[in-house]
Amino acid sequence: MPWPRDSAKLDRVRELIADAGLDALVVRSPDNVLYLTDYWCMKGYDAVVFPAKGEPVLVVLAPQLEEAARSAWVAPDDLRTFDGYHPHDPRPPWYRAIDACAEVLAERGLTGRVGLELTQGTQGSDRMVGEPTTFSTAWPERIAGVCAEVVDCSPLLARARAIKTAQEIERMRLAGEIAAEAMQHVASQLRPGMSCAEVGAMYEGYVHAVGTGYKGKVDYARGFTLVWSGPTIRTFTATSDAPVQEHEPTLFEIWVCADGYWCDLTKNACPGELTPEYDRLTEELLGVYGAAVEHLRPGAGMAQLDVLVRDRIDGLGYPQPSHPIAHGVGARAHEPPVPHRAGAGTFAQGMVLAVEPGVYFDGGGGLRVEDNFLITADGCEKLGSYPDDFRGV
């Protein structure tokens, strides 16, 4: 879905590029291409040359030219194509994308210091979402062949992306609305004995069916979820055919992507009344969660959030979660900043954080709650609408 050019975002990136003394960025991670051009690629082979001065050039797989022309904030003359198949070039197509970027740099005289994503550890999926392309040494080697110096621009992009514009927040709200509607639908259908896999398929199918075309504002939506129930609740395990338990929570780890912008949530539902043990755990964990949310305001320390949450979980006598208790979210489901007691930094207005305290019992079972929060001038705003206290829902 075409969105108006987000000048506030692009101007901030150009300021950071100029401050870093760079001629340009050359990026190819699908989430960074989306961030800089609003084009969400199909195969992950595409790239953008984003100069400190002048207009960006989008290097796009030839069959996607029409889609790029429709959605990208790039002039038609600044769209360059490369072939997915070339009769005289047996190399994979991304090598031709590299060559096109090098040619743009040489043509435009952007041959001084150029930034590449040398240390970005993760990337958002392309639209095919099952086969992300990864980086190779061919990128820095080819760009270094036409430039005086290649430097890492991953910290620069993380700094830019940490502060969301009004348009980005609107798009994240859309992802959150779709996620909440899907959760309401599935919670109304949840019955003891259903398999967790059946429930997960119901959730993901609803997001894809209802989210694609949502309110005339979303071209393409996908949902991804891990579903566990009762004793199968744990971290870093796949959804199974285990049955939904009566009187115990069924936990949904949820990611919804709407045209490249994400929400990251953990929601719960329970057929019947919770057991006393789970009712007590829910009350205790919501207390930890509320204290964490209260901490989210401009100037508050990121390290202090991690300390607060983990110390309160420890004080309740529960084991520590093995995952971060908060992280950024935007054009990736998991992106900087990631608060940690040994780290630094403070929260700033415009950041969006997923906050997710959790407790997991030895041998299985437990609970997690999570939503996304926008840091405002005097506190924070919850972006999701599905309740965290699921008792009685």
Q: What is the DSSP letter of 197?
A: H
Classify 383 as helix, strand or coil. coil
Clarify whether residues 103 and 12 are in a common domain: yes
Exposure string (b/e) for 20-44, b if CB count within 10 Å is 16 or more? eebbbbbbbbbbbbbbbbbbbbbbb
Clarify whether residues 193 and 62 are in a common domain: no
* Number of structural domains found in the chain: 2
How much is the pTM? 0.95
Joined tokens for residue 66: 């029409």
Say if 365 falls within a structural domain: yes
pLDDT at 246 over 80: yes
Look at residue 226 in the predicted model and tell me its pLDDT. 97
pLDDT at 236 over 90: no
pLDDT at 127 over 90: no
Confidence of residue 131 (pLDDT cuts 50, 70, 90): confident
- Asked if residues 257 and 335 have their Cβ atoms less than 8 Å apart, the reply is no
Clarify whether residues 123 and 263 are in a common domain: no
Say if 203 falls within a structural domain: yes
Say if 1 falls within a structural domain: no
Say if 390 falls within a structural domain: no
Distance CA 196, CA 178 (A): 21
Look at residue 234 in the predicted model and tell me its pLDDT. 92
Clarify whether residues 138 and 222 are in a common domain: no
Say if 2 falls within a structural domain: no
Look at residue 248 in the predicted model and tell me its pLDDT. 97
Structure-derived torsion over alpha carbons of residues 57, 62, 66, 69, reported in degrees to the nearest 10: 0
Confidence of residue 118 (pLDDT cuts 50, 70, 90): very high
Clarify whether residues 184 and 131 are in a common domain: no
Joined tokens for residue 175: 């992802």
Look at residue 101 in the predicted model and tell me its pLDDT. 97
Clarify whether residues 117 and 260 are in a common domain: no
Q: Give the mean model confidence (pLDDT) for residues 301-324.
A: 96
Last residue of a domain, one of 101, 136, 162: 162
Tell which residue, 385, 389, 392, has the closest CA to residue 176: 385
Last residue of a domain, one of 162, 182, 197: 162
Range of the domain at 96: 7-162
Give the chain's radius of gyration (CA, Å).
22
Clarify whether residues 179 and 154 are in a common domain: no
Distance CA 46, CA 48 (A): 7
Clarify whether residues 96 and 214 are in a common domain: no
The CA-to-CA distance between both ends of the chain, in Å, stands at 34
Clarify whether residues 139 and 172 are in a common domain: no
Say if 389 falls within a structural domain: no
CATH code of 158's domain: 3.40.350.10
Clarify whether residues 180 and 158 are in a common domain: no
- Asked if residues 335 and 351 have their Cβ atoms less than 8 Å apart, the reply is no
Mean pLDDT for all residues in the chain: 96
Look at residue 314 in the predicted model and tell me its pLDDT. 97
**Tens of pLDDT, residues 199-213:** 999 999 999 999 999
CATH code of 176's domain: 3.90.230.10
Clarify whether residues 258 and 345 are in a common domain: yes
Say if 388 falls within a structural domain: no
Last residue of a domain, one of 112, 143, 162: 162
List, in sequence order, every beta strand (DSSP E) within 119-166: 149-152
Tell which residue, 218, 178, 177, 182, has the closest CA to residue 201: 182
List, in sequence order, every beta strand (DSSP E) within 34-190: 47-51, 57-61, 79-82, 113-116, 149-152
Q: Give the mean model confidence (pLDDT) for residues 258-274.
A: 97
Clarify whether residues 240 and 134 are in a common domain: no
Confidence of residue 132 (pLDDT cuts 50, 70, 90): confident
Say if 179 falls within a structural domain: yes
